[in-house]
Amino acid sequence: MKQVTMMIVAAVLAVSFTLLGAEEPKKEEAVKEEVKKEEPKKEESLVPEWIKNIKLKGDFRFRYQYQNFEGKTEADSFERNRLRYRARIGLEAKVNDWAKVNFGIASGSYESKITADQLAAGDDVKASLGQDLRSTNQTFDDFFSHKPVWIDYAFAEFTPWSWLTLTGGKMKNPFHTTSELIWDGDITPEGAALQFKYAVIDELSLLANAGIFILDEVKAVDDPMMAVVQIGAAIKVSDFDATATLSYYDPMNLMNAETNTGEGTKMLGYIKQGYYWKNIAAALDASYTIEEKYQIGFLGEMTANIYDLNKDALGAKADDNLAFFVGLKGGTKALKDLGDFQSSISYRQLGISSWIPFLIDADPLDGNVNAEGIKFDIKAGLYKNFSAAATLNYFWTLDKKFNSDKTNKDLILQLDLNYKF
């Protein structure tokens, strides 16, 4: 009996030691898991709060550009091949729950050139160094010289309510547009703006935007500036969405522009000829989504100069006051990965007195009014945040009688590689 008892005790002890031995690894694994959970928290605590509130983004574009330009005379005609790049970087800093600061820098050309036409007209011209406001491209030239970097935008946004945003500084275009008919995509106006978007129902939002922008700062007289008011609506019903707006543009005191910059000199040249602008504009962007990934759409935009122009000075040019744009688009909604693509084709006309020339798209017909033409572009995703694009612009003089009965034609082909981060 004694032996049996001893055997039972020995068996119980063996089982106990076995269980205790198995429990130890479990406890050790549990401790390791807790340590792993704590490590991210420890690393996260080492990152300052202000770093967490900053978002950094940017892009780089490498471009080959071919241009075939037929000028007023044979001497003005040329073929041109250029390699160009664009580099941009920006940050967004969240100050608190209702305020953000945005800052960006970009490459760009460093001359504001005076045209031969202005010189021939006898204007008091002073060319000054300064960035071309309609381009962030930099051409490969000047024997490997260092290239400039400019402040692209610097502005603060205040959003006291989800439906209202107030902006001040050098900002991205705060208005709804569907093309570069009125605003070149690289222009960042300077001043203050208000953006209102209120959802009446899930399918309908009302829009109202306004801004006052400084064009030039002049001593002792009123500064050239521009006021803009825009109203509109955004509709989304199932896979269809559209945004339509109506705007009024009121440039003021343009005759006070100084002549120590290329743009100021050109502005005064237009004023002396009898041009001025008070414009209404309308824009429509409508699209339909297919299978959640693809989208087709229509783009339209127009502007009319309603200012009572001096017909004694301008003659028939005073009546050529309309500009419009129509286009079609299609492809994937986003351009992120291999297989994604987007394309568009458009036609536009710009009457000679339709809109302020220094604000329109800089590429077609050397960025001038009294022009019409077509634009085709296609973009293709190659890899995550890496894409290629091809753009063809073909523009010509709209009304020959306003151009000394000589026709200008301009063909531009652009091939791009785009990198984003």
118 plus 229 within the same structural domain: yes
Region for 356 from its dihedrals, namely left if φ exceeds 0, alpha if ψ lies in -120 to 50, beta otherwise: beta
Considering only CA atoms, give the Rg of the chain: 30
pLDDT single digits (tens) 17-73: 444 454 455 555 655 565 555 555 555 556 677 788 899 999 999 999 999 988 777
Q: What is the C-alpha separation between 264 and 267, in angstroms, rounded? A: 5
Which residues, 6 or more positions from 224, have their beta carbon under 8 angstroms from its beta carbon?
214, 215, 216, 218, 251, 252, 253, 254, 256, 257, 267
Is 130's pLDDT higher than 70?
Answer: no
SS3 411: strand
Give the span between the Cα atoms of 309 and 277, in whole angstroms. 8
End-to-end, the C-alpha distance of the chain in Å comes to 82
138, 13: one domain: no
Q: Is this prediction's pTM over 0.85?
A: no
Q: What's the gap between Cα 342 and its chain centre?
A: 17
Domain count, the chain: 2
- Domain span at 264: 58-420
CATH at 74 = 2.40.160.180
Regarding whether 287 and 224 lie in a shared domain, the answer is: yes
Question: Which of the pair, 76 or 126, is modelled with greater confidence?
Answer: 76
176 and 300 together in one domain: yes
Coil, strand or helix at 187: coil
Please provide the average confidence, as pLDDT, over all residues in the chain.
Answer: 86
- Say how far apart CA 292 and CA 269 lie, in whole Å: 51
Do 179 and 152 share a structural domain? Answer: yes
376 CB burial (10 A radius; 0-12, 13-18, 19+): middle
For residue 53, being part of any structural domain is answered with: no
In a domain, 51, yes or no: no
Q: Does 22 map to a domain?
A: yes
Residue 32 and residue 94 in one domain: no
Please report the DSSP string for 59-98 in residue order: EEEEEEEEEEEE-SSGGG-EEEEEEEEEEEEEEEEEEETT
Alpha helices, DSSP H, located in 295-393: 311-314
Q: Tell me what pLDDT residue 253 has.
A: 95
Same-domain pairing of 105 and 31: no
Whether residues 64 and 38 share a domain: the answer is no
Do 73 and 216 lie in one domain? The reply is yes
Closest listed residue to residue 174, CA positions, set 162, 163, 187: 187
Q: What's the maximum distance between 2 C-alpha atoms anywhere in the chain?
A: 134
Q: Does the residue 52 lie in any domain? A: no
pLDDT digits (tens, 9 = 90+) for 310-358: 999 999 999 999 999 999 999 999 888 888 999 999 999 999 999 999 8
Closest alpha carbon to 87 in 66, 65, 104: 104
Statement to judge: residues 29 and 116 lie in one domain: no
Domain match, 246 and 309 both:
yes
Q: Are residues 76 and 218 in the same domain?
A: yes
